[in-house]
Structure 1
Amino acid sequence: MKPVNEYLQKNDRRSLFALMFALAWPTVMEQFLETIVQYIDTGMVGQIGANASAAVGLSTSLTWLIISPMFAMGIALLAMMAKAVGENDAKKAQAVAHQAVFVVIVLGVVEGVLAITLSGYVPAWMGADKVIQKDAAMYFKIICMPMIFRAAIIVFANVIRATGDTKTPLKINLMVNVLNIILNFFMIYGTREISVFGTVYRIWGADMGTTGAAIGTAISLTLGGILMTVAFFRRSLSRMSFKHIAYNAGMMRQSIKLGLPIALNKTITSLGYVVFAGLVSSMGAVIFAAHTIATVAEMAFYIPGYGMQTATSTMVGYTLGKRDAETFMRIVKMTLAVVVGIMIGSSLILFFGAEAVMRCFTSDEAVIALGATVLKMIAFSEPFFAAAIVLEGVYNGLGKTKIPFFIETCCMWGVRIIPVWVIVNMPGASLQKVWLCMILDNLIKTALLGRGIFRGGRGKAIFKKMCETV
């Protein structure tokens, strides 16, 4: 990839699109590969039975809650690093990198200890069926043990991406995911015989079920964290030794100021997902298995949104460093047009291929039928959800992180959680009604985020105000 400033200096539509593509495609591919691996992970566990799928699904929702502060600080540091790159300020960029080290150490240790300590209690707190509580608790405990390595993967990857290098995190995460698949193959199932072109091979297996899946994940995350740390320290903008790392109180305050609303946003959202999952889990193992598998299946279809979100936040940070409001608005419109166009196509695939997608994860016909129904429903809102993801990236890149927090909080709890609680506790509760609340949440959130950027030139006004204050 060319240096970022070469694209920005030309400042024409072709150059901006090339920059967007260069930043986005490795991140989109990374998200795609991670989702494929989660597909395989879920499918492998799903072969054990609906209870195993439900146990892993419960832990997945809780993990999103635990690691949300890491994502938040990663996004904050990405915005700060992107602005430093836009200003061509190497000294500031290195200072941002220094603070990332402190963030990884503190969050990794604190959240790891907290998660492991509470692992035995949370499945019961979430109202999970007693049949899956033990497996869910053990799975969650094991995958949280390498929390500091997970923090390194998340935070350091964001700082690396902000410098314009999106390929290195892609390569490392690809390695992590492939290793996870290989370990799952041997850890989940028992010793068995497989036939390849007529030749029968006896394959060793640990027969550890969901616990084996957790061990495979933990080992993969540990290796990934080590490799991401090595890559981070080798970057030209962050190259340093541990003895030269300097704590900068002012810059750390700025990162916390940016990151706190994102952390609250992601925590509230993740907590909402946990409560949401708990409500659905009370409807029975089959319904919750259908919900969990359909949720994982849906993830692949909004990957472009999250890939474009990172690219958008980074490019907005560059334009903020350049103080260029016109380019800022061109970037916003261009990324939205691209992601919505892509999502319309992927939504059609999801709608017509819903049943086939569900069959990739389970052979339970009741789970397949129910999951396919809700996937067809959610397909209609996918373009709007992707637009909301990119718009959130715009606000994050600007440093206006409070706006998405307030919108997300109101929509998550006012449109999704409270109505679902009412539905679950009324006669005739169904997964279809639950997912209808999800669809309404996506639509309303997109409308509110878009209104804050496009109505009456608000986007430019916010941008110019941020240029005056940073």
Structure 2
Amino acid sequence: MNTKINKNTSLFMLTWPIIVELLLQMLIGNVDQMMISRYSQTSVAAIGNVNQIMTLLLITFNIITMATTILVSQFLGSNNKEKVSEIYSLATYTNLFFSIVLGSIMIIFHKPIFTLMNMPAELYQDATIYIVIVGGMIFLQGVFMSYAAIFRSNGLMKQTMIISMIINIINVVGNFIFLNGLFGLPQMGVTGVAMSSVISRSIGLIVVMWLFSKKLDAKISIKYLRPFPKETLASLLKIGVPSAGESLSYDIAQMCILAFVNTMGTYVVATRVYSTMITNISCIYSAAISSAVQIIVGHLIGAGDIDDADELVMKTLRPTVFISLVVAILLYLGSDIFFGLFTKDPAMLALGKQIMFIQIFLEVGRTFNLVIIRSMQAAGDIKYPVMIGILSMWGVAALLSYVFGIILGMGLVGVWIAMALDEIIRAILVYRRWKKGTWRGRALI
């Protein structure tokens, strides 16, 4: 079964399952920190550092999964389904290969990576345990992301939403068991939450593979790689490398910024972790709707409906910015409550409130970037957002984080101001690019 997507497809029907899925994905990335915060702030900071590394490495998988979403959407939009199974198989096995390589690197070279990040020495023990267990099994996420991209390309968002629910429920239950030493088990701390994450993701992967066999008239098989489809891989990389380049640049810059923050003390590092967890809530809607718009734009471009694609993006942008802004304001007003879920430290609560205020401005820029850049990628205008992203993320976010945060002594507040300026500047540039219509006529098939 393949879901036909066109200009009459309900944006809401595609978006709401993605919202739930993204919330659940955010939870599985952060629930370990949330639950262990009752036991140790050091463990929170350690897991936060490792998750930053994991986020960067997951961009490698996005090279293929993003390309899969865009290319399959355009092929389905043009009713060309001949190479769909080949693309599915190539994407899945390529991500499996890269994830095994990356997992090995994290197991072997995690200590030099910690050193490069200026990680405080007191975090090393917990961080090592977490990265070896979770990072060593990163192939579970790599393969799962391939299946999720396939489902999204076909408009099957509810399936991945349900699977994310299953993963999170298992992870929370597992954390509760391992942290509290139930059923005769010892209290396992960081080891326990890491094991719980691996177990839940393993079950999630099994479920998504089963659903794929039931829902789609396609197969993932090694036979589609014989002879090896070099041209298809070249097409995926041609789309995926530049498309993921913007995300890759962002996450490398964030690791650089984290290295600055790591010099500010453990309580500041922990506050950054909590701030990131909370601020991610404000972009859930814009991230979800931009993913839905990207899929529909891909189908419209494949079908040749260029003006409909333009109209869809412009109609979506204003309400998306408004909703994200309202959420960001509410998070600021309730910052003491949200941070209070993790800590009662007055210094951390005060710092968190300042961060939430700056986040209001950051969120406006980020929403523009999510909606427009993903639409540009779906239309085939891939290189421009990468170029602008690299220049701004490093020339504004990273550089000014050092200037404001370290040189001027503004600490984490200065870092957040720099990141807000980065998002706003890029938003202005990509909006102008879209309005000029430079993306027209750049279809990838």
TM-score tier by shorter-chain length is over 0.9
Match of 1:466 in 2: 442
The match for 1:411 is: 392
Asked if 1:369 is matched to 2:350, the reply is yes
| Whole-Å separation in 1 of the counterparts to 2:135 and 2:192 | 14
Specify the alignment match of 1:172 in structure 2. 163
The CA deviation string for residues 145-200 of structure 1, in whole angstroms up to 9 with x for no partner, is: 22221111112101111011111111111111111111111223446xxxxxxxxx
- What TM-score, normalized to structure 2? 0.94
Distance (whole Å) between structure 1 residues aligned to residue 395 and residue 297 of structure 2: 30
| Contact residue 46 and residue 52 of structure 1 kept, 8 A | yes
- Name stretches of at least 5 consecutive residues in structure 1 with no aligned partner: 192-202
Between the aligned partners of 2:211 and 2:188, the Cα distance in structure 1 is 33
Is contact 1:294–1:372 with CA below 8 Å preserved after alignment?
no
Corresponding residue to 1:387 among 354, 357, 368: 368
Letter in 2 for 1:220: S
**1:163: which partner in 2?**
154
| SS of the residue 1:409 aligns to | helix
Residue 237 to residue 395, structure 1, CA distance change in 2 (3 Å): farther
2-structure distance, mates of 1:403, 1:92: 28
Match of 2:414 among 433, 443, 453: 433
Residue pair 1:93, 1:237 contacting (<8 A) in 2 also: no
Q: For this pair of structures, how many residues does the alignment match?
A: 444
CA–CA separation in structure 2 for the residues paired with 1:391 and 1:339: 11
Matched, 1:287 2:264: no
Cα deviations by residue, 1:205-234 (Å, 9 ceiling, x for unpaired): 532222221111122222222222333344
- Judged with a 3 Å threshold, the aligned counterparts in structure 2 of structure 1 residues 321 and 292 are, in CA distance, closer, same or farther, namely same
- Equivalent of 1:307, from 264, 288, 302? 288
Q: Secondary structure at the match of 1:139?
A: helix
Note if contact 1:122-1:137 (Cα within 8 Å) is conserved in structure 2. Answer: no
Sequence identity percentage: 23
Report the Cα offset of residue 293 of structure 1.
0.6
Q: TM-score under structure 1 normalisation? A: 0.89
Q: State the partner residue of 1:357.
A: 338
| 1:394 positional shift | 0.7
Alpha-carbon contact 1:69-1:266 (below 8 Å) kept: no
Match of 1:149 among 137, 140, 144: 140
Partner-residue secondary structure (3-state), 1:48: coil
1:208 counterpart residue number: 188
CA contact (8 A) 2:365 2:420 kept: no
Matched with 1:259 is 240
**Alpha-carbon deviations, 1:31-68, whole Å to 9, x = none?**
12233444543221211232111111111111111111
CA contact (8 A) 2:85 2:224 kept: no
Contact 2:402 2:415 in 1 (8 A): no
CA gap 1:367/1:245 in 2 versus in 1, 3 angstroms: same
The equivalent residue for 2:178 is 187
Pair 240,406 (structure 1): closer, same or farther in 2 beyond 3 Å: closer
Aligned partners of 1:310 and 1:427: how far apart in 2?
Answer: 38
Deviations 1:336-374, CA, capped at 9 Å, x for gaps: 123112212212211211111111222333222211221
Residue 195 of structure 1 aligns with which residue? none
The SS at the match of 2:82 is helix
Instruction: Give the residue type in structure 1 aligned to 2:411.
Output: S
Q: Would you say the 8 A contact 1:175–1:224 is kept in 2?
A: yes
Q: Does 1:229 align with 2:209?
A: yes
Counterpart AA for 1:422: V
For residue 421 of structure 1, report the CA deviation from its aligned partner. 1.9
| Aligned AA (1:462) | W
- The answer (yes or no) to whether the contact 2:2–2:217 under 8 Å persists in 1 is no
Asked if 2 retains the 8 angstrom alpha-carbon contact of 1:55 and 1:132, the reply is yes
Contact 1:304 1:386 in 2 (8 A): no
Q: Quick one: distance in 2 between partners of 1:368 and 1:280?
A: 17
Describe the shift of the 1:190–1:256 C-alpha distance in structure 2 as closer, same or farther (beyond 3 A). same
Partner AA of 2:54 in structure 1? T
- Counterpart for residue 197 of structure 1: none
Q: In 2, are the aligned partners of 1:42 and 1:361 still within 8 Å (CA)?
A: no
Say whether the 8 Å CA contact 2:2–2:216 is kept in structure 1.
no
Distance 1:313 1:369 in 2: 38
CA 1:392 to 1:104, structure 2 compared with 1: closer, same or farther past 3 Å? same
Q: Quick one: distance in 1 between partners of 2:323 and 2:2? A: 25
Given that residues 260 and 406 in structure 2 are in contact (C-alpha distance below 8 angstroms), is that contact kept between their aligned partners in structure 1? no
Q: Which amino acid aligns with 2:232?
A: M
- Give the structure 1 partner of residue 4 of structure 2: 4
Change in Cα spacing, 1:421 to 1:380, as seen in structure 2 (3 Å) is: closer
- Counterpart CA distance in 1 for 2:86 and 2:19 is 28
1:204, 1:293 → 2: CA distance? 32
Superposition deviation, residue 299 in structure 1: 0.5
Report the Cα distance in structure 2 between the residues aligned to 1:347 and 1:300, rounded to whole angstroms. Answer: 8
User: How many Å apart are 1:245 and its aligned residue?
Assistant: 5.3
- Check 1:153–1:2 CA distance in 2 against 1; reply closer, same or farther (3 A cut): closer
Instruction: Give the Cα separation in 1 of the matches to 2:229 and 2:317.
Output: 36
- Which residue identity is paired with 1:347? A
Q: 1:330 to 1:303 in 2, by over 3 A?
A: same
**Residue 28 of structure 1, CA deviation:** 1.0
Instruction: Find the counterpart in structure 2 of residue 73 from structure 1.
Output: 64
Of residues 118, 121, 133, the one that matches 1:130 is: 121
Which one of the candidate residues 212, 231, 241 is aligned to 1:250? 231
Is residue 2:92 matched to residue 1:111? no
Assess if the C-alpha contact under 8 Å between 2:405 and 2:413 holds in 1.
Answer: no
Are the aligned partners of 2:106 and 2:135 in contact in 1 as well (CA < 8 Å)?
Answer: yes
